Amino acid sequence: MCYYNGQLVTRAEYIRLKQIEKLLSSYDFLKTPLQIGFDYGKNAILKRIEGAEDFDIVPMEWGFIPQYLKTREEVDKMRHGYKDASGRFHPPITTLNAKREELLLPGKIFRDAALKRRCLTLSSGFYEWRHVYPRNKKTGELLKTAIKYPHRIHLPGREYFFMASIWQPWTDRQTGEYVESFAIVTAAANKLMEQVHNSKKRMPCILPEDLAYEWLFGDLSEQRIREIATYQYPYKEMKAYPVRKDFQTYLDPTEPYIYEDLPELALS
């Protein structure tokens, strides 16, 4: 989940993280309302400056690149899948997200980054699909095939917010290309996201400013990393609304759209 993210930030805004402020005037990569994860493009990341309680806003490639991959060709094979010499297809492996439950497991590709290279993904809103099973008009029974309705999720009154993330440096052994890539940490869904992302019931780990500060700068134990990565943003402070099914290519993907057959979310 969380494969679509918005990063639309105006030049006049500031990122406020505790007492740290940085003007965004020179960051042209903060002008898009939609980043599609499977494009493996650049996203705006808050990266700690080593040895300082300060950060840079840097573009990183969405899709965590494991160190065991030696070349860009191997990265592409991992991301898109490939056929080997015998014709057998090897399906793609997606590393856009890092499950909170797997962050610190021994032998997992995310462990070292979770311990040493935590960062924050800037977001103005993200997108998920809600699965709704219609009823057979004759029998009233639920059909087996769901209709998927895309929704945009944001925090009303806030131009942007922070998602807990981890990053990885990687160098192509053949060409010398240097890349910094990242994955967004995900955890169990809150009451809102259980209904929106109701197929997997996951959500990105959205952090309030105090926890975002701690995630970025804190000297954290493994237990504290797990605690922060488990944080569920209050569902009453979030809003989800449906958007067009072609929102990925529509001029304004944030524009609300009304589906007459879509039931309301139950959030009493």
Indicate which CATH number applies to the domain containing 131: 3.90.1680.10
Asked if residue 255 belongs to a domain, the reply is no
| pLDDT for res 18 | 37
Residue 262 lies in a domain: no
What local confidence, expressed as pLDDT, does residue 39 receive?
92
Q: How far is CA 207 from the centre of its chain?
A: 13
The pTM of this model reads 0.88
In a domain, 251, yes or no: no
Question: Is there a domain that residue 123 lies in?
Answer: yes
pLDDT, position 11: 35
> Consecutive 10-residue runs of the chain (268 residues): their mean pLDDT?
53 40 52 82 91 86 97 97 96 97 95 98 93 82 87 91 96 98 97 94 94 93 97 96 94 94 86
Query: Is 82 contained in some domain?
Result: yes
Q: What is the DSSP letter of 145?
A: S
Domain assignment present for 267: no
Question: 126 is in which domain, residue-wise?
Answer: 4-242
Q: Is residue 186 part of a domain?
A: yes
Asked if residue 259 belongs to a domain, the reply is no
Q: Write the CB contacts of 71 (distance below 8 Å, at least 6 apart in sequence).
A: 172, 173, 174, 175
Q: What is the arrangement of strands in the sheet containing 147-154, beginning at the earlier edge strand?
A: 31-36, 4-8, 125-132, 147-154, 239-242
The pLDDT score that the predictor gives to residue 30 is: 61
